[in-house]
Structure 1
């Protein structure tokens, strides 16, 4: 069955019996025989075949997606058995939501490669629901996500808290006034230009939650599809934003951004590590241990709250 599924997957992806034969180093009639045997076992045709094309029918599409999951589980099983006697090694498919994946994960991966050079990580960055779905379908070994997700079968462990803070340019009157006044109400900033992530992102979701909690609706909003241009825009004095503390470390260090003192902030959201099975390869085990141990995941501290003079 394993060989049948492997050949079926190849035919489906390459849409060609001849290409599948080349890849598996066998004759085209042999490939055809494997496909016929698989169809006989399942009891239905899986491929539509003409002189011009080979493509999946509805039943074939179902079998293809489940075959991919079966082969992924087979590979994971083999890794688990190998790990009984071998050191941590092999591939490790990691998924992460944008803030964690862009600003925290690279440092942890550098530590992982330094300690375990035989592990080969691959990384997928996406929103929380996408990463959770990929882990649930065994296309990712592990995910680091924020907030809530619908995949109830996943094993989840709270990993760290991320502080969301309001930032402005150090040259802004808001930054200068903060050095002399007490924390202010967020609603007082309602008429400022707010620079936001697009709808659907975790950062935008957090911002909308904060706005609703403080009963405010910004008069002016500008949208960007990633965090970096938001930081550049705020630094240039274009407006203010609510950003993850993790994402502004360099800018605070170099005095390029200022954290405003706002009543009721920072807004704290939780990041969790999710897996699809209780059985872990050594590669996955050591990676999760590194996540737990990482000093990068220290919570937001009062000593870091405010402007850094340049």
Structure 2
């Protein structure tokens, strides 16, 4: 790989020579030499640099676009060559939506790492919509999400695990000693929901529609943890995955209810771009997801084997 291209792209991404030097463990004079060498080879000035800013020239923008592609293809090439060794190893970039990323994926990755210790996963946690967009743009290898994916993105989507959602209330709520609530009782509550683009928000909106009401009071938060704390504090009620309240149910700080006649279910799915180069690490991970679900690990963690888990 041409180190000068890597240095140039890093300068453009980081917006400065000192940050690039720190990122690539080089000296600033070395960074300058790489940029000057690339400009001399290409016969064009690529960067305008002052004391206040570093900015790409028109030529620099052209080189940046193609250099990013060259570096990407170089990375794919080296990963595919590694696969010829028949060993499952190398980096694996995973995007996860919040419920899976915070409550399910840690258990999956723990077992996956024991099975494939030479794979080095990195995880980005965002809402379903953002993860799907990152997969479509080839910024991630694989995504695991709980929400529906826009078909316009043309991604490969494979369900691997069913998920049940519940209405949660605090211990002091008038429903706290119940296990089920009628749909018509829901309208007068203050509802605490996730932001749009979240898979959990999709389920909440579907509940409102099926129960035939629009919440009179709605509070929107970008974190399931904040939602749980708010419900505990008596600010309102919410819909969350069973996975999100494992510990709270064990500690009896939150109570979970079903809605009569309105099943709150969805599927966890993995995503890939259909034209993505599939390394052994990627194939091993999605195969492990299916095996992990089939072997009943999820049911045991949720206490469905008769043993409550905290």
Same fold, TM-score > 0.5, yes or no: yes
1:35 aligns with 2:22: no
How far apart, CA to CA, are the structure 2 residues paired with 1:23 and 1:154?
42
For 1:176, what is the secondary structure of its paired residue?
coil
* 1:69 Cα deviation from its structure 2 partner: 4.2
- Whether contact under 8 Å (2:133, 2:153) holds in the other structure is no
Q: Do the aligned partners of residues 237 and 65 (structure 1) sit closer, same or farther apart at CA in structure 2, a change above 3 Å counting?
A: same
Q: Do the aligned partners of residues 238 and 8 (structure 1) sit closer, same or farther apart at CA in structure 2, a change above 3 Å counting?
A: closer
Q: What do the CA deviations read for 1:171-210 (whole angstroms, capped 9, x no partner)?
A: 53323344xxxx5432222112222223443322321222
- Counterpart of 1:82 in structure 2 is 82
- Counterpart of 1:91 in structure 2 is 91
How far apart, CA to CA, are the structure 1 residues paired with 2:249 and 2:59?
55
- Counterpart of 1:166 in structure 2 is 167
- Whether contact under 8 Å (1:195, 1:224) holds in the other structure is yes
- Whether contact under 8 Å (1:129, 1:150) holds in the other structure is no
TM-score, L = length of structure 2: 0.79
Q: Which runs of 5+ in 1 are unaligned?
A: none
How far apart, CA to CA, are the structure 2 residues paired with 1:151 and 1:67?
28
How far apart, CA to CA, are the structure 2 residues paired with 1:168 and 1:235?
7
Aligned residues: 296
How far apart, CA to CA, are the structure 2 residues paired with 1:71 and 1:127?
28
- Counterpart of 1:274 in structure 2 is 271
How far apart, CA to CA, are the structure 2 residues paired with 1:66 and 1:104?
38
* 1:27 Cα deviation from its structure 2 partner: 8.0
Q: Do the aligned partners of residues 52 and 235 (structure 1) sit closer, same or farther apart at CA in structure 2, a change above 3 Å counting?
A: closer
* 1:114 Cα deviation from its structure 2 partner: 1.9
For 2:252, what is the secondary structure of its paired residue?
coil
* 1:292 Cα deviation from its structure 2 partner: 1.1
Q: What do the CA deviations read for 1:133-159 (whole angstroms, capped 9, x no partner)?
A: 222333211111221236634332223
- Counterpart of 1:252 in structure 2 is 249
Q: What do the CA deviations read for 1:233-277 (whole angstroms, capped 9, x no partner)?
A: 333444321111221222233433332231233322333211234
* 1:231 Cα deviation from its structure 2 partner: 1.8
- Whether contact under 8 Å (1:21, 1:31) holds in the other structure is no
- Counterpart of 1:264 in structure 2 is 261
* 1:103 Cα deviation from its structure 2 partner: 0.8
Which range moved further: 164-173 or 202-211? 164-173
How far apart, CA to CA, are the structure 2 residues paired with 1:25 and 1:282?
40
- Whether contact under 8 Å (1:193, 1:240) holds in the other structure is yes
Q: Do the aligned partners of residues 105 and 14 (structure 1) sit closer, same or farther apart at CA in structure 2, a change above 3 Å counting?
A: same
Give the 5 Å matches for 1:210-229. Answer: 210-229=207-226
1:124 aligns with 2:154: no
Q: Do the aligned partners of residues 157 and 185 (structure 1) sit closer, same or farther apart at CA in structure 2, a change above 3 Å counting?
A: same
